[in-house]
Structure formats: C-alpha cells, structure tokens
A and B are shown apart, each in its own frame.
Chain A
Amino acid sequence: MSNREHLANVMVQCFIEAVEEGLDLWPVVADSTSTSKIKPFLERFPDRLINVGIAEQVMVGTAAGLALGGKIACTCNAAPFLVSRANEQVKIDVCYNNTNVKLFGLNAGASYGPLASTHHSIDDIAVMRGFGNIEIYAPSCPREARQLIAYALRSSAPTYIRMDGKPLPVLHPEAYQFQPGKVDVLREGKDVVLVGLGSTVHETVEAAALLAEKGHPPGVLSLSSIRPCDRDALAAQLQKYARVISVEEHNVNGGAGSLVAEVIAEYGLSTTLKRLGIQDGGYAIAGDRASTRRHHQIDAQGIAEVAESLLVPA
C-alpha cells in the first residue's frame, strides 16, 4: 500500500534533516547498514557513519564515548542484539553514565518472524524499564515516529526507541502532536479499553472497528511513551472502563501490560486487566506476522474475540 512507510526510513530521514540543521549527529552501526536502511544518509554524508563490525558491545561503548566527546550518537541495529548482547554497555555506558546516546532497536518484537527467537526482541521494554534514567518510546506509525525521533534527537537524555520492522500506515491525523509522557487516546469507547504498544496499536484499532460493528465500541490507547509516562492521565483513562486489554508483541512480563497493571494497582482502580502478548514462559512462534499474531491472539480478530468474551452479558 502506498501510504505505508518503514520506520527505519523515517529514522534515516530524521537523521538527514538533523545534520542539515547543524546537529552533530553520528549514526553507529554494527554491520547493520541494510537493517538501518542508512544508505540515503551515507550518500548525503559519506564520512558520517561509524561501522564497528559485528560487535554490539563496542558499538554501544563507542556511542557513549562519542556522546562524551560532544556528539549525538545514534546506534542503529537489530533490537535483539542491542538489548541482549550489549546489555551491560547500555546499563553502564549509556544509562549510568547518562550519555547522550539514542538507541534505535530496529525490527523489534517478532518482526524477524520466521528467523526465530534469536532474532526476536520480546524483552526489550522490560529490560529498559529495569534501567534507571533511560527514556523509552515505541512509535506506532510513521507520522508519530517522525515527531518522536525529531524530539529525541534534540533532547540530551539517553533514549531507547523500539522500532517495528514492517512498513506501517499512518494512524494519526495531520494535526497530531507527539508529547513525551502523553497517553495517546485514539478512540473513546465504553466497557472495554484496548491498550496497544507500537505496531500492535494498528491491531487494536482494527479490533475496535470490528467490535464497534457489533455495537461495542471500545476505547483505544497507545503507550508510545513508556518512560516518561503520565500515570495520572493513564489512570484517568483506564478508570473509565470495566475491562482493560493490553496488547503487545512483547512478553506479557515487564512491558506495556505490566505498566498498565502497576497503574491499576497503585491507583486502586476497580477495572480488571487481561494481558495479551507472548505469555509467561513462552517464546514467539517462528512465522510470518499474520500467523504469529494470530497464534498469540494479538491480531485484530484475536483481540476482538478476547474483548467479546470479557463483555458482561446484557
């Protein structure tokens, strides 16, 4: 479809615009030039890419050093290798040292589908939430990604951005304005609210349409800003509904569902929560996106089925 755009292309466009504006930005890759779709940047700025080879630890360490040396360092590689292989470099060199590094976790979730679990990143939000100061974002569509990345490149905070690996359609109206911390309310509804993360927000919107057709329009929220997160605003949204369903291409432990659970518990809300995602103890199946999401019940149809089963009979 023509209105679909890959978030990595959006990222690269944001890089080009930032450097043209005068930002001293340096992408750092670990042989991940194709993963990051960095070619247009390289053509425009041939000497501005640092490629450290297949070596994620030194990729993150080097990025931290570049940042301490006054640069805006942006690592771009596959999320699973960033988050797991370079875990301690993220923890210490980026978070603890509070360096101006932007970590782009590309092809996150189960984007790599059939390549199986070595290439899946279904724990990245949980890992990053366990670290102190790092800001955590998961853009749901190209328009939001553009604004979110533009913001992140101009902030000095260590930042993790979870990037989906498939071309996505625009979800937000032209007037949309991303704000860090803000809970993105996509649909108002009744009885049930669907809370999505990243690309699964598209599934929740489609599920909402299916449910609306049957006379049960649910609310839809997107947690594009995991840290910071306006918990008061999130609680205020959640308490409008009797049921909450969280949806993420991530383990149900430590991600969006956990954040929602914390807010429900800490605010003493009476709403009940169903967490959809890769269930406790499991891995994502190795398959294409449609079958993977079907299997784990995080596709529009699966979400709608769960929502219907939770609706209180009239």
Chain B
Amino acid sequence: MNPFSLSVPELERKARAVRRRIINLNANSPAGGHTGADLSQVEVLTALYFRLLDCAPDRLNDPDRDIYIQSKGHGVGGYYCVLAEAGYFPEAWLETYQHSDSKLPGHPVRQKTPGIELNTGALGHGLPVAVGLALAAKRSNSPRKVYALTGDGELAEGSNWEAALVAAHYQLDNLVIINDRNQLQLAGPTREIMNTDPLPDKWRAFGLEVSECSGNDMHSVVQTLERLTRNGKPNVVVSTTRKGAGISFIEGRPEWHHRVPKGEEVTLALEELKDE
C-alpha cells in the first residue's frame, strides 16, 4: 500500500508544497527548465505518490511494487520535487538540478536518481515500455499496476498508438495511461500544431477504457483514478490541465514551456503558493 495515503485536503496542501519546490528548483537551475510542464502535472503526481501508488522509497527492489513512468520526460523538475517530498532522495539534491554531473539532470535517468523507473526525454517511449512492464506483471501473476504519464503534444508520436494496439490486444487492465492534456507544446497550442482532439474517442477506438478528469483539481484527479475498473481493458485518463497551473502569470503561456522564474517572479510565485 501507499505509505502516506493522504486525504484530498492533505494532498492539496502537498501539491502546493511541490509547486513551491518547482519554483525554487527552476529558479536555481543554471540551464533553464520546463516550468510549465512541471506545474501542469502536479495534482496527478502528488495523488499517485502520496495516495495511490503501492510503492515506497524502501521498496525499489520489490518486484510487485507499482511502477510510475514519466513519458513526458521534460516534466522531470516536477517529478523530482514529488520524489524528494516523498523521501526517495535527499531534498538538498534539488539545489543541484541540471548542475554539471548532477544526480538530477534535465531528463530522468534511473541510474542516477532513486525512484526513477525509466530514462526518458525523447517522446513516445514511455507507453511501449509501460506495455512491456504491464505484460511482464500479467505473466508473472504480479499485482503490480503500471502508470504512465504522457503529454498531449507527445501523442503525435506514432509509437504511442502502436503501444495502444498492443495494450488493448493483450488486455492489459493493469496499465493506466494518463494524458497530461495541458494543451500547449513547444511551438504553440496543441490544437493548432497537430490536433489530437477528440482524444477520448481516439483511445476508445483503439479499444481502451477512457475516463476524464479535471487534472488540476485534486478531488477530480483522486476520484477518477480511484474509480478505474479492471475489466480486461487498459485504462486511459485524459487529464485536462493548464500548463503552468497554480501561478497566475505562468498559467497558459507558451513562453513558459522552457523558461524559468527569475528575481521578482520567484517572490510573486511563492506568494501565490502560500498555505492559507
């Protein structure tokens, strides 16, 4: 089981703490960061690591632990902040984000950072590997569940849809695919660059079970993830979010795909993220 099992109000408080860490992490980075992508996924990652994942820092060799795959590898800053909060590595490491030869480079590297399950960064790799992990768990009669988080711009990569075919064909109902549908990608709005809407219909057509949630609303995230059923179909959760969610002047702005807060912006952001 999850060692924290936080309630929704506790998760909301934790998500704010994660966002404060994301602001500081990116502000201290010598090489920029993906602030917007770090922030849109916060509710999903917080809910997973502090309530849903049957995994803990002292169980990283347990073959039955649940697995989380960060397919949108550029959201690694947010991922690091959640892992540090959950005790997978010392908080002090966050100050070394993207420093030379750091344990926390600009995309996840499992050989460097405890808790990371897969090296990603090039897009479209998480789902095929998650399919293999889910298949292995099925064939080993393991209770393991596999969660994989993709971006929405990332879904233009064809390998995702190859993986969808295989996941449905092999009835991998121990697999949960979450789309962080923050609607922005490097060059602009996903709908304008390469439209993936209507996304739920596409997954359904591939034979997957689709749920939708409001991805920056902790109540909606938790309720949706906890209501997933295992009926022979892989689950997809289309989690509609706002890139840069939680900070008024970052939210929904494409320039924050690869921009970090500086000076006054740090103070302003932290002010917005205060606990009541």
Residues of A within 8 A of B (CB): 26, 50, 52-53, 55, 57-58, 60-71, 73, 88-89, 92-93, 96-98
Contacts and interface: CB of A to CB of B under 8 A. Distances in A.
Interface centre among A58, A63, A92 (most CB of B within 10 A): A58
Interface of B: 63, 67, 110-111, 117-122, 124-125, 127-137, 139-140, 142, 144, 158-159, 162-163, 165-166, 169-170
Given A62-B163, A69-B135, 14 more contacts: A50-B135, A53-B169, A55-B162, A58-B159, A58-B162, A60-B128, A61-B125, A61-B131, A65-B128, A65-B130, A68-B136, A70-B140, A93-B125, A93-B128
19 contacts: A58-B128, A58-B131, A58-B163, A61-B132, A61-B163, A62-B132, A62-B166, A65-B129, A68-B129, A69-B63, A69-B136, A70-B63, A70-B140, A71-B139, A89-B159, A92-B120, A96-B119, A97-B119, A98-B111
Contact of B159 (A61, A71, A73, A97): A61
Give 4 closest A-B pairs by Cβ, nearest first: A65-B132, A61-B128, A69-B136, A58-B162
Contacts, number: 99
Contact of B136 (A53, A70, A89, A97): A70
A84 to B, nearest CB: 15
A92 B128 contact: no
Main secondary structure of the interface of A (DSSP, over half): helix
A71 B110 CA distance: 18
Nearest to B158: A57
Contact of B128 (A53, A67, A89): A89
Main secondary structure of the interface of B (DSSP, over half): helix
B135 to A, nearest CB: 6
Contacts of B136: 65-66, 68-71
Nearest to B170: A50
Contact of A89 (B67, B110, B125, B144): B125
Contacts of A97: 110, 118-119, 129
Given A68-B117, A88-B122, A98-B111, A62 B129 contact: yes
Contacts of B159: 57-58, 61, 89
Contact of A53 (B130, B131, B142, B165): B165
B149 to A, nearest CB: 15
Interface centre among B117, B120, B121, B133 (most CB of A within 10 A): B133
